[in-house]
Structure formats: structure tokens, C-alpha cells
Amino acid sequence: MQLPSRLFLSTLLAGGVLLTSCQPSKPSVKIGINAELTGEMPAVGASCKQAAELFVEQVNAKGGVPVGGTTIPLKLVIVDNSAKADQSAAAAQRLVSQEQALVLVGPNASSCAIPAAEIAESLGVLMISPWSTNPKTTVSSATGKPKQNIFRSCFTDLFEAPILARFAAKNLHAKTAAVLYDMSSEAPSSQAKLFQEAFEKEGGKVVAMETYSTGDRDFSAQLTKLSGSAPDIIFLPAYYNDAPLIAEQARRLGIKAPFLGSDAWSSPDIIKLDAGKNLEGSYFCNHYSPEGANLKAKQFIADYKARYGSDPDDVAALTYDAMGEAVGAVTAAGKLDRTAVRDAMSGTRTFDGVTGHARFDVGSRDPAKSAVIMQIKDGGFHWVATVEP
Amino acid sequence: MGSLNYFCQQAINALQLGSIYALIALGYSMVYGVLSMINFAHGDVFMLGAFFCLLLVALVPVPFWLALIIVMGSTALLGTLIERFAYRPLRKAPRVSAIITALGCGLVIQNVTLGFSPYARRMPSLLDITTYQFGGLSISTLQILIIGISLSLMVLLDYLIRRTPFGMAMRAISFDRATVPLLGVPANTVITITFAVGAALGGAAGLLYGLAYPVISPTMGIAVGWKAFVAAVIGGIGNMRGAVLGAFLLGGVEVITVTLLPSTYRDLVVYSLLLVILVFKPYGLLGKPPLQKV
Amino acid sequence: MKNRLLTPALLLAGLAISAILPATGLVNDYLQFVLVSLAINAILCVSLNLVNGWMGEFSVGHAGFMALGAYASALLTVRLFPGAPPWLIFPLAIVTGGSVAGLAGLPVGFLSFKTRGDYLAIITLAFLMIVKSGLENIPFTGGPRGLLGIPHFTNLPWAYFCCVVAFWGVRNLVYSKFGRGISAIREDEVAAESMGVDTRSAKLAAFVTSAFFAGVAGALFAHQLQFINPSSFDILKSTEMLVMVYLGGVASLGGSLLGAGVVTVLTQILQPLGTWRMVVLPLMLVLLMLFRPSGIMGYSDWSWLKPRSERNPKPKPEPKR
């Protein structure tokens, strides 16, 4: 196995390396989607992908994106990040360097969005996260000032947590609360801490803060500890795959306190996974409600349902808006240049999409938007209240 | 009264966890006993136990006991196939090759399952679970079932090893593999059956784990299976009673850790415990050093 | 005399090329990324090969050394000296990363005195898990959510340079007195001891050097990806390294390069397969063990990599009977 195999293998190596750098050359507006298609929360990735594809179909049906006088077709490149932080960073790297994406949309989970944002920022590419609520996504970890290239379509935990705290104190009449959250995940951690601050400002008392890690399945130790402090409610800012499991184990341990969730609950799959109906009657916060939909939203819901057979959830709606914002920036820039597109986005002050009216204040990367409180009831989500910014 | 309650509740949690670990750890020890090899694929056989159950119930709704038997049979078959095609050709090869093959097999199984199911699945509930509450303590029929079935299987295995000719052959092979065939014992058959039994136990553990924690994912093999491996090593790999001891010890340590510290410390404590035990007792708590011929 | 200068000259030329290439635009961002990854993987591979190949042990925990190197270097550039000029801080970070990892190699080396084979594998696994779990619990290192904002210092020249140094270092170790001791341990440890080989020093030398270079690779890795978290350094990473070593060839410098190359390229080419691509590497590992356990270039090397005295030894004439 000496000379011939060496030659063969070196050719293979060289060929492989060259192959990986091949590029197609027709002009198109390339948007890179960095989504959680596999791993812990595939329903989130699926919603994101479907909404993006619907958007692209609709735009291309009209000929494409109007850029500087001509219309250029819109193209999607989708990369899976498996809901993992390091893979998200690598995916962002890939989308920018290999796929030559003009704008990045996604990731959705904050744990994935934050590292991807670092990469996008250092490479100077506009990135819009549809669903990430952790404030850190748009803020530079080094300087504490807002990043230049990173935006989001949704509100942040700084807006959400106080709303939930107030709801717990005033509407649910809770004086004491316990919190159980995933400490290895960005969004739940920030929501837990901000909820604690806000709830105590409302005059309540947080009697227990318990933690678990992503992938844990046994919460009996933490729940046993929690029940000892007899809270009025349990704040559970967990993703849709964890919340039913935790609720089930809690009920089995005899814990009767009601649960309160964050926007992390918002996938309808949460009801599918909640076989024992342990979350029935629980409230949570969401980005939009099909029941309170405006005209644009109604059209979007109808189109989405016709195409995919189910109602869009908030991830889908926010992705649709993120795509709209991205494409709007490209049109405003007038050319396929990353810096120009980014500047155009910075110049955007308002955006009216399917999730309502978004207001981007000067220098802010996070829109001021309204939130909705929903309740899980009778196998579905029901609108309870809307809170304006 | 409150803290006694609390302690008892956590003890029950630990017993449940330990029982499942014990079933898996036995598989590791059995295989190490007869072949002196660490079957790194065993954790993924455990994972497949849960997934086979999922598949089975999706195709044909069967009652719990039947599902358990079918799943145990399927994983037993899988175990024998792995042994026959991946391990047997390497019997004469250096130990390292066998370990690496085992690692590779385990990863192939995990990643193929990931290919078919890239995300977690909801395990169907095969039983109606009632929770009994007395004196502030909650015990569910599921916990009783898991602990009960595990203990029964362990007792059955102990009987098999100590009271049957097959068990004697198994122990003979782990003592001296080369001589045993000369005495008329079909070594290959015994080894194959050992793998089958070990895998069946692992499959049962998978099903029970899936019932207790109904969201299963293909990465379960690494998460849970490797902990059981640590349990087997702590007890002395190759030693059945050691495996059970190690498993319950580990279950207890894990529960205590999560009670006192954030759950991210769990792995740290478990593996540090392993290291400490190995430093002082390099062959595990109940293990004996192998004779080294010079 | 001319021959002696040829190798260093070629290496320097390579360094120059690696520095100029990105600027010419012949090599796009992505290709650079792949080449840098290849260099990092090569360093990892050759470091693991030292312990698993030449010394014949079985370490499953090298991702732990890599993690230590990555974190140590990243903490230096992010927390301790943010904003320092790259040409000053990066070499310091790399050396720090390597040294921290190398230091961690000491206890593992010591533990290897008493145990061999399977138990050493278990100990290295425990080491890996402890490092990973330890990093998850220290808030200073960012905990389970990882460390952000690592500056992008790794570029082609640096990666190339570190790779050359790593290979040169391992090569010199392997063909030195220590190295022969290491190979002797692989063949038969008890016999080696009774022949007077200082097995303890050899083992320590092997583990520390191996850990050092794994740490260097970790430092380069951290400054390429700009973000690290503990789950990047788990058993899967260790498995990747194992595949590289056992594919390319154990106890072989050329094999290390080959193994790293094949795995890096395959990882990139197989992207379209999605989750199924992760079946290919372990499957390759299994097939390798069944059909070619020492790898493509096991125990042999291209002659230009060996020191002069090792090449084509003249066969001794048969003694007349």
C-alpha cells in the first residue's frame, strides 16, 4: 500500500478540498437560514423553515426582490444547527463563507442565536433572529453596546419577564413563586432571572430557584425540593419539549401549584407532548395570537394553512416577518452589498408584519412590540390579553 | 417529619434510578467477564430498547408485559448479531481493536437511530399509573414496577449464574478462556448467550426508563448508558454483584448531588468518584486484579 | 550539504505561501477555513498518535486536553488581555493553552504507571468527563453556556506554523532515546522495564507532549470558531480523533496527516447528508478495525519524514554458517 495508494489518496484529498469550494454564479438574493431542524426542538426549526420557504415562493411568484431597478430572484440556503450552540456558530460561518449568503435569518433559540451573532458581527453580515428573546443576542459581549449587524423581529426578555411577573401577581394573585429553569440554555436563564427581579418588584417573593441542564430527564430531586417551599405558582420558562415532562413529574409528586410559562412554550407540539394534560389551564406569554390577527396576519395564516395544513405558530409568523424585514432592507439598499443592506436595516424605523407593528428606535436592534398572554385549554391555545409596549 | 419525608422521597428516586443502572451495568459486567472486553455499544442497545418499544407499539398495540418480552427478545437478537459480526472476528486481535470496534458500533447504532429520528420522541404510556400518597410521600405504581422488575431480573440472573450449568460455563470462561473448550464446553455458544442475556437486560432497562421518563432520544445511550458503565467499573467490572452495588451507589450519589448542588455538577461528582475509587482500588470495589503472565 | 537545508527551506516557503495566499484572493474564505481545520486536526491527530500509536496505550480523553488548551488560551485573550495586539497575545495564548494542557497531562501520566489497557481507557474517559463537567460549573469560564467573543486570530500562517512545529516536535521525540522507550513500552512493557528502559519517564514524556500539542490545537480551534462551550469537547470529539489516528495509520507521522486530511475533507463533503453523515465516520472506524487495524500507513512513514539515520537501513549481511 505504498505509492499507488498515496497518489490516489492525495488526489482524493485535493479533489475534495476543491470540490468544497465550488460556487454557482447566477445572481440571486441569498438568505441563509440557520435553523434548529434536528435536536432538542425540531418543531421550532420546522416552523422557521416552512415560513421562510412560503415567503420565498410568494416573492418569487412576483418575479423576485426589487433591487436597484431590476428584480432579482430570492434564494434560500438552509443549514441545520441541531439546536446546539457550537454547531450554530459553525453554521453561521458556513453560510457566510461558503454559501455567500447576503443576509442571515435565524437561529431562533437564544443559545444558538448568541454565538451565531458573534460570528455574523465579526464577519459584517446582517443577521435577524426571529425568535431569540435573550437581550445578549444583539449586545456585544465585549463592550456592552449594541452590535452593528444583529437585529431581531421579536421583543426581548426585558419586556417579557415583567409582563409575566405582573400577570402572576395581579391576575393569578400569587404571592410566592418558585422557578425551575434550564441553566445551560440562554433564554430560560435570562427569563428566570428577570422574572425573579420583576416579581419581587411587584411585591411577591420567589421562594425557590431550581435548575437543571439541557437533556436532563429526571427532575424529581429539584421538584421535591421545590414542593417543600409551597409556592403559589411555578414559573417554568422551558422549551416545549421539556415543559410537559416537568409538569408530569411534578403532578406525580403531588405538587398542585399552577404553572406559568414564557414564549418558549409557544409551539403547538407542547400540547401533543402533554399526554397527561398536566399543563391544561396554564398561562404563558406569546408573540402573536391567530385569534387577534390583523388583516395581513389573516392572509398569512390562510396561505400557511393551505400550503402546510396547520396553523402557523409564533416562530413561523416571526420568521415570515424577519424575511420581510431582510428583503425590505435589501430593496432599500438598492444593491447586493452586505454593508449597504446592514445600513438600510439600521435605518428602518417601523415594520408592519403579521406579528403586528414593530418600532425600531434609533440605535436599537430590538423592536418595541406588543405581547399576548395565552392559555392552554381544550387542546389548544387561547388568547387572554394583549399588552402594548 | 418534613425532612424524613424528604429523605425518603429522594431515597425512592435513587432506588428507581439505581435499578435501571443496575440492569444496564450487569450487561457490561457479563460481557467483560467472558471476553475481557468493554462493550461500549451496550449503552446504545439500552437506548434501542426504548426505541424498539416505541416502534412496536406504533405498529401493534400490545400490553405492557408482552411488549417487555418482545423488546427483550429483540435486543437479545441485536446483541448476538453485534457479537457475531463485529466482535468475534477480533477475538485474537489486540484488545484495543475490540474496544474501538465497540465504540464504533455504538456510535453507528446511535447515529443511524438519529438519522431515522433526529429528535426526541414521546414514549407511549403502556400502563395506567396511579400515585399513592401517604404521609406526604408519593410513590407511583410505576416506581414500584421498575424497582420490582429490576430486582426480579437481577435475582433471576444471579440464579442463572450460580445454580445452572450455563452459569458455571460462563464463570469458567471468564476464569480461563483458552482451556474451557478443551473441556468440551462450547465456548462460542456460551459467549453468544451471555451477550444475548446482557443485551436483553439492557433492552428491559431501556423500556423501563422510557416509561419513567417518557421523552426518549437517540443520545440516551451516551447519557445513561455510560453512567451505568461507570457503575459497573466502580463495582469492579466483570463482577455481577459489583455491578449491582456500583449501580445503586451511583444512583444514590447522583440524587444526593442534585439535591445539594446545581444539576450540572452531577457528571463532575460521578466521574470524580470514579477516579478516586480507581486510584485507591484500581480494579473497582469488588474486583480482583487479573493475573499478568510475564 | 545541500540536502540538509532543503527541508527547512521548503518549510519556510510553505509558511510564506500560507501567508500570501489569502491576500491574493485565490483561496476564498471557506477554503481557508477548511485548510485551517485540516491543520488543527493534523495537530490533534499526531498528538493522539503519540499515546495511542507509538506508545500503544488507549486514551479516549484527548478532547479534555484540547478543551483545556482552548479555554486557557481563550480566557487569556478575552478576559485577561482583551484588545491586545494579535502578534503579541496570540503566541502567548497558544503557548499558555498548550502548557495548561501539558500540565494536565502529568496527573494522567502518573495514573498510567499503575494501570494499563482497559483501565487506562476508563481513566482517560473519566478525565475527559471531569474536565467537561468542571468547565460547565465554573462561571468564570462561562459555564455551560460557553465563552463568547473570542477574537479571530487563527489564520492560515499560524495554523501552518503550529502544525509544522507539532510534527517536528513529535518526530524528534519519537526518534530520540525517549521515543525508543515509548515504542518499547508498546511492544512489551515488562520486557522493556527489565531491559532498563525508564518506562516512567517515557510515559510522562509521552503524555505531557501529547497533551501540550492537543492544547495547542485547542487554542487554534477556539480562535477560529470564536465561541467555545464544554459540549464541543465531548466523547464525540475524542472519537473523531480516534478515527483520524486509526484511519491514517498508528505510529506514523504521514499517517497522522493523511488521517486528518481524509476526515476533514469527508466532514465537509458529507454536509448534504445531514444527520446521516455522522454514521459514516464510526462505520469507517468499525470497518477499519475489522480489516486494517493499524490504519493505512500504520507503523510506516514516508522516508522524507524520517531522520537521515532511519531511512533505508542497509540489511546486515547474513553470517556465514
Q: For the segment A128-153, what is each residue's pLDDT rounded down to a tens digit?
A: 999 999 998 998 877 788 888 999 99
Direct distance between the N- and C-terminal alpha carbons of chain C, in angstroms, rounded to an integer: 41
Q: What angle do CA A229, A231, A234 make, to 5 degrees?
A: 120
Could you tell me if B208 and B258 are in contact, meaning their C-beta atoms sit under 8 angstroms apart?
no
Task: List the one residue out of C249, C261, C256 whose CA is nearest residue C295.
Answer: C249
Distance from CA of B231 to the nearest CA of C (A): 12
Contact state of A222 with B263 under an 8 Å Cβ cutoff: yes
Quick: pLDDT tens for A258-275: 999 999 999 888 888 887
- H-type alpha helices, chain C: 2-24, 29-48, 62-75, 86-114, 117-137, 156-174, 177-187, 189-194, 199-225, 235-248, 253-269, 277-291
Return phi, psi of residue A373, to 5°: -100, 130
DSSP state of B290: P
Q: Is C162 exposed, middle or buried (0-12, 13-18, 19+ CB in 10 A)?
A: buried
CA of B138 vs chain A CAs: smallest distance (Å): 6
Minimal Cα–Cα distance from A40 to chain B, Å? 6
Residue C99 scores a pLDDT above 60: yes
Give the closest of B2, B6, B140 to A252, CB-based: B140
Least Cα separation, residue B4 to chain C (angstroms): 30
Terminal-to-terminal C-alpha distance of chain B: 61
**How high is the pLDDT of residue A192?**
94
Interface probe, candidates A84, A252, A267, chain B, greatest B C-beta count within 10 A: A252
Give the minimum alpha-carbon distance from A146 to chain C in angstroms, rounded to a whole number: 14
Q: Give exposure, A57-71, as e/b (b: 16+ Cβ within 10 Å).
A: eebeeeebbebeeee
Assigned CATH class of A158-286:
alpha beta
Cα dihedral angle (B256, B259, B264, B270), rounded to 10 degrees?
Answer: 0
DSSP state for residue B289 in the 8-state scheme? P
ipTM score of the complex?
A: 0.84
Q: What is the pLDDT of residue A11?
A: 59
Picking from B6, B114, B215, the nearest residue to A245 by CB comes out as B215
B-chain residue closest to A243, CA distance: B215
Q: Residue C278: helix, strand or coil by DSSP? A: helix
How many Å apart are CA C197 and CA C199, to the nearest integer?
6
pLDDT at A123: 87
Instruction: For residue B145, give the amino acid letter.
Output: L
| Beta carbons of A275 and B10 less than 8 Å apart | no
**B-chain residues within 8 Å CB-CB of A216?**
263
Q: What is the CATH number of domain C17-309?
A: 1.10.3470
User: CA-CA distance, B204 to B6, in Å (whole number)?
Assistant: 29
Backbone angles phi, psi at B99, to 5 degrees: -65, -45
Q: Which residue has the cell 405492557?
A: B64
* Cα B191 from Cα B83, distance rounded (Å): 9
| C282 inside 8 A of chain B by CB | yes
Question: Is B249:B8 a contact under the CB 8 Å cutoff?
Answer: no
pLDDT surpasses 80 at C315: no
Query: Smallest Cα–Cα separation from A281: which of A368, A165, A164, A375?
Result: A375
What is the structure's pLDDT at C218? 95
Do the chains contact at A85 and C143, CB–CB below 8 Å?
no
Q: Judge if A29-155+292-370 and A158-286 fold alike in CATH terms.
A: yes
How many beta-carbon pairs under 8 angstroms link B with C?
Answer: 119
**pLDDT tens readout for residues C142-160:** 888 888 888 888 888 889 9
d(CA B31, CA B196): 10
DSSP A15-78: HHHHHHT----S--EEEEEEE--SBS-HHHHHHHHHHHHHHHHHHHHTTSEEETTEEE-EEEEE
Of C262, C28, C252, the C-alpha closest to A12 is C262
Give the pLDDT of chain A (389 residues) as one tens digit per residue: 444 455 555 555 555 555 555 555 578 889 999 999 888 888 899 999 999 999 999 999 998 888 888 888 999 999 998 888 888 988 898 899 888 899 999 899 999 999 999 889 888 999 999 999 999 899 887 778 888 899 999 999 999 999 999 999 999 999 999 999 998 888 999 999 999 999 999 999 999 999 888 888 888 888 888 888 889 999 999 998 889 989 988 988 888 899 999 999 998 888 888 878 889 989 999 998 888 778 888 999 999 999 999 889 999 999 999 999 999 999 999 888 899 999 999 888 888 888 888 888 887 888 988 899 999 988 888 989 888 88
The reply to whether A185 touches chain C by the CB within 8 Å rule is: yes
Contact status of C138 with chain B (Cβ, < 8 Å) = no
Which of these CATH numbers, 3.90.70.10, 3.40.50.300, 3.40.50.2300, 3.40.50.2000, describes A29-155+292-370? 3.40.50.2300
Residue A188 CA: distances (Å) to CA of A45, A182, A194, B113: 18, 6, 10, 29
Q: In the predicted model, what is the mean pLDDT of residues C206-222?
A: 94
Instruction: From chain C, pick out residues whose CB is under 8 angstroms from the CB of B222.
Output: 235
Rounded to whole angstroms, how far apart are CA atoms B286 and C7?
56
For residue C292, count CB atoms less than 10 angstroms from its CB and return exposed for 0-12, middle for 13-18, buried for 19 or more. middle
Q: Chain C partners of A190 at a C-beta cutoff of 8 Å?
A: none
Which chains have 3+ CB pairs within 8 A of B? A, C
> Which C-chain residues 180-209 have CB contacts (< 8 A) with chain B?
190
- Interface residue of B103, B237, B283 to substitute, partner C, most C CBs within 10 Å: B103
- Categorize the per-residue pLDDT at B293 as very low, low, confident or very high, splitting at 50, 70 and 90: low
The pLDDT, as a whole number, for residue A18 is: 57
CB C231 to CB A189 under 8 A?
Answer: no
pLDDT (0 to 100) of residue A376: 92
Cell of C290: 475489522
The DSSP code sequence of C30-41 is HHHHHHHHHHHH
C66-89 average pLDDT score = 88
CB-based burial of residue B183 (10 Å sphere; 0-12 exposed, 13-18 middle, 19+ buried)? Answer: exposed
The rounded Cα C106 to chain-centroid distance in angstroms is 17
Long-range contacts formed by C175-178: CB under 8 A, 24+ apart: C175/C306, C175/C307, C175/C310, C178/C202, C178/C205, C178/C206
Query: Grid coordinates representing C264?
Result: 476533514
- Which of B21, B137, B213, B254 should one mutate to test binding to chain A, selecting the residue with the greatest count of A CBs within 10 A? B213
Dihedral angle at the C-alpha atoms of A92, B219, A222, A376, nearest 10 degrees? 70
Per-residue pLDDT, A48: 94
The whole-number average pLDDT for the span B153-181 is 85
What is the separation of C-alpha C276 from the centre of its chain, rounded to a whole number of angstroms?
26
Show residues of chain A in contact with C268, CB under 8 Å: 16, 20
What average pLDDT score do residues B39-54 get? Answer: 93
Who has greater pLDDT, B175 or A150? A150
- Residues A186, C148: C-beta atoms closer than 8 Å: no
Q: Which residues of chain A make contact with C31, given a CB cutoff of 8 A? A: 17, 20-21
**CB contact (8 A) between residue C137 and residue B262:** yes
- Would you call C126 and B275 a contact, using CB atoms and an 8 Å cutoff? yes
- Domain positions in chain A are 29-155+292-370, 158-286
Query: B83-138 pLDDT, tens per residue?
Result: 999 888 888 877 778 888 898 899 899 989 988 887 778 888 887 777 777 776 77
Give pLDDT, residue A1: 40
- As a whole number of angstroms, the distance between CA C95 and CA C275 comes to 36
User: What pLDDT does residue B213 have?
Assistant: 86
| pLDDT bucket at C66, cuts 50 / 70 / 90 | very high
Q: Who's near C184: CB < 8 A, 6+ residues apart?
A: C191, C192, C195, C197, C199, C202
Among B90, B115, B279, the residue with its CB nearest the CB of C275 is B115
Average pLDDT on C51-59 reads 87
CA-angle at C282, arms to A214 and A22, nearest 5°: 90
The pLDDT value recorded for residue A152 is 92
DSSP bridge pairs for B140 = B131
- Per-residue pLDDT band for C319 (boundaries 50, 70, 90) equals low
pLDDT of residue C21: 76
**pLDDT score for A8:** 54
Q: Which residues contact C271 (CB under 8 A, 6 or more apart)?
A: A94, C277
Q: Decide if B214 and A218 are in contact by the 8 Å CB cutoff.
A: no
Q: Which amino acid is at A186?
A: E
Domain ranges of chain B: 2-220
Among the partner residues C33, C82, C261, nearest to A93 by beta-carbon distance: C33
**CB of B135 within 8 Å of any CB in chain A?**
no
Q: Supply B128's cell numbers.
A: 395506567
Q: Is B112 on the interface with A (CB under 8 A)?
A: no
pLDDT tier at C112, thresholds 50, 70, 90: confident
**Furthest CA-CA distance within chain A:** 80
Q: Do A20 and C268 touch (CB under 8 A)?
A: yes
Backbone angles phi, psi at A178, to 5 degrees: -115, 150
Does residue C311 register a pLDDT over 70? Answer: no
